[in-house]
Structure 1
Amino acid sequence: MIVVTALSFGLRFWHLERFDIFVFDEVYYVKFAQAYLAGMPEFDAHPPLGKYFIAAGIFLSKDLFLESPVSHRWMNALVGGLVPLLVMGIALTLSELNTVTKQAAEQTQNPAQNPAKQWTFACLAGGFVAIDGLFITESRYALINIYLVFFGLLGHWLWLQAHLIQHQPQRLPQRQQAASPAVRVTVYRVLAGIALGCAIATKWNAIGYLLSLLIWELYQNNKLLRVSGRIPQIKALSRQIAALCTYGILIPAFTYSALWWPHLYLSKEHFIALHRTLLTFHLHLGTHSHSACSKWYTWPLLIKPIAYWYEKKGPWAYSVSNLGNPVLWWLSSAAIAVLAIAVAIGLAKAVVIFGKNVLSRQSFRQSFRQSPRKPPSHALSSSEETVKNNSLNGSWRNHPLAAYLLIGYATNWLPWAVVGRCTFIYLYMPAVVFSFMTLAWLLSEWLYSPVNRPWAKTISWIMLGAIALSFLFWLPLSLGLPLTSESLSWRWWLKSWI
């Protein structure tokens, strides 16, 4: 974890002063931030929190960096450097939740754990974010997407902590068990709601982070009730919905509204009138062509990255692109597809089994409460049992992690399918984190498989080696390092990358 964090900060702070000009949308966001410091905010199509942070960075470093571009970039590098740490925290918490769910499903007090596998999953997930070109570039310049991702993931980590404490308070460290679990759950959920409100106050598309948590929480709570043999009751569902509305809607909405106050105070505008203007702007943005536009369905394949900066000096070419790590993106897209297919197959099998139970005149309650964790001794052969226990097949239903990854990915990516205007690949940042985590989970499962599978470990190491080489090969495009024209052309594998 220390190595991943150090690598993350090193890549984001290294020579942050390079290019003493505004790179890409810095020309807008730095101007907006300086307008806040001057007390005369300007109209922008997005909520204000991202610009507040850039303005705070300029204000806090005005005497230290003077006119250096570091003054408006260091805050992004700091926040961006923390994102891999959040991803590692989420991965570790999800591993704990998997253990809790397995304990409930198998009715065991101390289910087997593999700390090495859990930490491998966490470090791979965080490491993938740390070395991805899109995240590096967005963290090195005064842009606002990294704040959306940071606060969205912070909200997720806090919410997952609350969920873990609620369902397994005895897993808290001894020094923390003195506090009431209910109080700790409330505190974590309030903080999660605030963080999610901050994400939406950066960009509206952060609603995907909020939506994914609400869907996952409702699904996971009801699944735990079924696993433990209790059918969800109306009262229980009502309490869940009330809690979700309070922590997942009201608190984020209040936070979002409160964060507009400095802007409204300086601009003398009205909250509702301003939002009407913003909504009208986005609805009438149109579908006009832009050289950097890309369709939502091309994002997982990394078809159309954006050139943030290009300059030619003598024999050297300096290019800054938000090109992600190609091998990492392609493998992670394949991993999320494999997980989605496995879940779809599992759902189809569950529907068939449920239908057979109904047709065999079992009562609805019996068929609903029937759990695959206790099949008759003659029901499964040894080979079927192996398939059932595979982490990407039958036992996915006992994996809150699988549901979390798929729901998070879908809610942050699929809504863009209904958007007709020009869209850009950086809008995929909230979703691609979940595909990175999916790949990390798959690799950790293969590396620590309880079944002797040499081929799986070999393939895992080949994948990791390819990702590392891909990172090194395309790193100059993330950092803007000098390359000859020939060397630069080697890195443009697709014509659309130019």
Structure 2
Amino acid sequence: MFASLRDRPWLAALLIAIAAQALFTLHLGRPSKLTFDEVHYVPAARALLDLSGPVNTEHPLLGKLLIASGIALFGDGPIGWRAMSTIAGTATVIGSFAVLMLLLGNVRTAAFGALCVLVNQTVFVQARIGMLDGFLGAFVVATIAALIWSAQAPPGHIWRRLILAAVLAGCAVAVKWAAIPYVALACLGIVWTRWHGGAGLLTGRGQPHWPGVRTADLLLGFGLIAIAAYLASFAPAFFYARDPLTLAGLVPFQFDMLAAQTQVLSPHSYQSDWWSWPLMLRPIWYFYEPDQGAVRGVLLIGNPAVMWAGLAAVAACWAAARHSPAHLLIAMLWTFSLLIFAIIPKSLGFYYYYHLSGIFVALALAAAAHRWRARWPHADLIFGTLAVGLFAYFYPILSAAPLPGDQAFTVWTWFPGWR
């Protein structure tokens, strides 16, 4: 069976997808109440369903449209609020598998990386709540996979793959503007890859990546398609019963969103600084109260094995970067994803901003294990067992399982900052 999976990566990906979707969907109805930022996004999704008018204008529409589609399919209740988030979580896991498979070409490495993403805990929590970050992670990871896939395409298949990557990039921005830096990074990646291969902006011949297409055409096509996909996401707003969007108002509305996103907010008990996120100094209790006859909790916290050991894996990827473009890309993705928040003007930071970084650190673990497998052939198996064990340990306060009392949280809160 394992030999069959090694030779059929699509079958391994399918089995991982089934396992991920089952895990994310199990007991999705708990908590039965709106949880944390669901209080913002679920009402906005309801407004989109009935086209009553603009709600939650700080962010673009696509993430809220996806939540609305879940409500339309499964009803206005916990399952409906979160159903599409579970699919986004599964897409994130499979997108991670695809990235590693495309970069390193090894099913074992890709499966190990997908497992690390699956049990890194932040992906699990975001896959079971009606928030935007799970969708953001899914689209960004899918964009990376599609862009690598397009770079490896033979002539005649390049544009259809590049269009897919560009549409996914536009969708990522249409969920949250936090994706904009990744679109810029994608464009820089195209330029660097072509320059590294000896091509300028106006040539595309003799290139191993996107052969036969000029660099300028790649950039122009990718950028214009991404922008078109982003703007298309605002279509429902033109049909609001109250304050409908107009073509003339589309650009000014972008400035309204910018003003909302850069406003100075009041201090929050769960706020934290960007440098603290890799260390998990201030996780977030999304929920902790009686519900459905028991005390239940949902703590957004990373898997200590994945998040902390992953930092060493990132350093190992940087060490290998000189000789391996794949390791360079993964190390750069994690570093870039964190440094964004050291630069962008946000008055408050929260641990859930580390969502994408937590995915990239899991990829770094897989890439490091792949690089040094000859020296430590069973490291991925041993580490995977540890990571799964810790996930099982934290599962009750990740999944809103019934707890024995209102002080039960002390079992899992190892440090004062986790309380």
TM-score normalised by length of structure 1:
0.74
> Given that residues 197 and 252 in structure 1 are in contact (C-alpha distance below 8 angstroms), is that contact kept between their aligned partners in structure 2?
yes
Deviation of residue 52 (structure 1)? 0.5
1:489 alignment partner in structure 2: 410
Counterparts of 1:75 and 1:134 in 2: how far apart (Å)?
16
> Given that residues 330 and 363 in structure 2 are in contact (C-alpha distance below 8 angstroms), is that contact kept between their aligned partners in structure 1?
yes
Deviations 1:107-166 (CA, angstroms, capped at 9, x unpaired): xxxxxxxxxxx111100111111122211111111111111111112222111111011x
For the residue of structure 2 that corresponds to 1:482, the secondary structure is coil
> Given that residues 216 and 407 in structure 1 are in contact (C-alpha distance below 8 angstroms), is that contact kept between their aligned partners in structure 2?
no
1:38 aligns with 2:33: no
Amino acid across the alignment from 1:124:
F
2:384 alignment partner in structure 1: 464
Distance 1:409 1:294, change over 3 A: same
1:131 aligns with 2:119: yes
Deviation of residue 299 (structure 1)? 1.1
Structure 1, unmatched stretches of 5+, are 97-117, 170-180, 226-231, 343-391
Q: 1:147 pairs with 106, 114, 135, which one?
A: 135
Counterparts of 1:13 and 1:465 in 2: how far apart (Å)?
22
Distance 1:92 1:24, change over 3 A: same
2:101 alignment partner in structure 1: 92
Counterparts of 1:133 and 1:262 in 2: how far apart (Å)?
34
Counterparts of 2:181 and 2:189 in 1: how far apart (Å)?
12
Q: 2:232 pairs with 237, 253, 258, which one?
A: 258
Deviation of residue 459 (structure 1)? 4.9
1:318 aligns with 2:293: no
1:279 aligns with 2:258: yes
> Given that residues 264 and 271 in structure 1 are in contact (C-alpha distance below 8 angstroms), is that contact kept between their aligned partners in structure 2?
no
> Given that residues 7 and 130 in structure 1 are in contact (C-alpha distance below 8 angstroms), is that contact kept between their aligned partners in structure 2?
no
Q: 2:71 pairs with 58, 61, 67, which one?
A: 58
Counterparts of 1:423 and 1:398 in 2: how far apart (Å)?
35
Counting only pairs closer than 5 Å after superposition, residues 177-326 of structure 1 correspond to structure 2 as 181-182=155-156, 184-225=157-198, 232-233=199-200, 235-236=202-203, 240-266=214-240, 267-269=243-245, 270-286=249-265, 288-312=266-290, 317-326=295-304
Amino acid across the alignment from 1:491:
W
Larger helix percent: 1
Deviations 1:275-312 (CA, angstroms, capped at 9, x unpaired): 221111222234x3101111111111111111111014
Deviations 1:382-427 (CA, angstroms, capped at 9, x unpaired): xxxxxxxxxx2xxx44422122212322332212102351011111
Deviation of residue 273 (structure 1)? 2.2
1:164 aligns with 2:152: yes
Amino acid across the alignment from 2:303:
N
> Given that residues 112 and 384 in structure 2 are in contact (C-alpha distance below 8 angstroms), is that contact kept between their aligned partners in structure 1?
no
2:110 alignment partner in structure 1: 122
Counterparts of 2:338 and 2:94 in 1: how far apart (Å)?
23
TM-score normalised by length of structure 2:
0.87
Point out the more displaced range, 477-486 or 5-14.
477-486
Deviation of residue 475 (structure 1)? 1.2
Counterparts of 2:379 and 2:346 in 1: how far apart (Å)?
40
Counterparts of 1:33 and 1:26 in 2: how far apart (Å)?
10
Amino acid across the alignment from 1:133:
Q
1:346 alignment partner in structure 2: none
Amino acid across the alignment from 1:405:
I
Counterparts of 1:324 and 1:80 in 2: how far apart (Å)?
15
2:9 alignment partner in structure 1: none
For the residue of structure 1 that corresponds to 2:349, the secondary structure is coil
> Given that residues 202 and 215 in structure 2 are in contact (C-alpha distance below 8 angstroms), is that contact kept between their aligned partners in structure 1?
no
1:112 alignment partner in structure 2: none
Distance 1:273 1:315, change over 3 A: closer
Deviation of residue 3 (structure 1)? 4.2
RMSD of aligned C-alpha atoms?
2.3
Deviations 1:347-371 (CA, angstroms, capped at 9, x unpaired): xxxxxxxxxxxxxxxxxxxxxxxxx
Q: 1:27 pairs with 27, 39, 55, which one?
A: 39
Distance 1:315 1:457, change over 3 A: farther
Amino acid across the alignment from 1:260:
F
Deviation of residue 89 (structure 1)? 1.0
> Given that residues 300 and 330 in structure 1 are in contact (C-alpha distance below 8 angstroms), is that contact kept between their aligned partners in structure 2?
yes
Amino acid across the alignment from 1:131:
V
> Given that residues 117 and 363 in structure 2 are in contact (C-alpha distance below 8 angstroms), is that contact kept between their aligned partners in structure 1?
no
> Given that residues 308 and 320 in structure 1 are in contact (C-alpha distance below 8 angstroms), is that contact kept between their aligned partners in structure 2?
yes
- What is the identity percentage for the equivalent residue pairs of Structure 1 and Structure 2? 24
> Given that residues 32 and 41 in structure 1 are in contact (C-alpha distance below 8 angstroms), is that contact kept between their aligned partners in structure 2?
no
> Given that residues 51 and 236 in structure 2 are in contact (C-alpha distance below 8 angstroms), is that contact kept between their aligned partners in structure 1?
no
> Given that residues 334 and 357 in structure 2 are in contact (C-alpha distance below 8 angstroms), is that contact kept between their aligned partners in structure 1?
yes
Counterparts of 1:76 and 1:272 in 2: how far apart (Å)?
29
Counterparts of 2:218 and 2:415 in 1: how far apart (Å)?
45
Amino acid across the alignment from 2:365:
L
Deviation of residue 468 (structure 1)? 1.9
Counterparts of 1:480 and 1:268 in 2: how far apart (Å)?
39
Deviations 1:196-238 (CA, angstroms, capped at 9, x unpaired): 000000000111321232222222232233xxxxxx4564389
Number of aligned residues: 392
Counterparts of 1:52 and 1:314 in 2: how far apart (Å)?
29
Counterparts of 1:233 and 1:58 in 2: how far apart (Å)?
49
Deviation of residue 313 (structure 1)? 7.4
1:337 aligns with 2:315: yes
Counterparts of 1:131 and 1:407 in 2: how far apart (Å)?
22
Deviations 1:235-265 (CA, angstroms, capped at 9, x unpaired): 4389754134323321111111121121133
Distance 1:4 1:222, change over 3 A: same
Deviation of residue 460 (structure 1)? 4.6
Structure 2, unmatched stretches of 5+, are 1-11, 206-212
Amino acid across the alignment from 1:262:
P
For the residue of structure 1 that corresponds to 2:32, the secondary structure is coil
Distance 1:237 1:138, change over 3 A: same
Q: 1:49 pairs with 32, 37, 62, which one?
A: 62
Q: 1:328 pairs with 306, 310, 329, which one?
A: 306
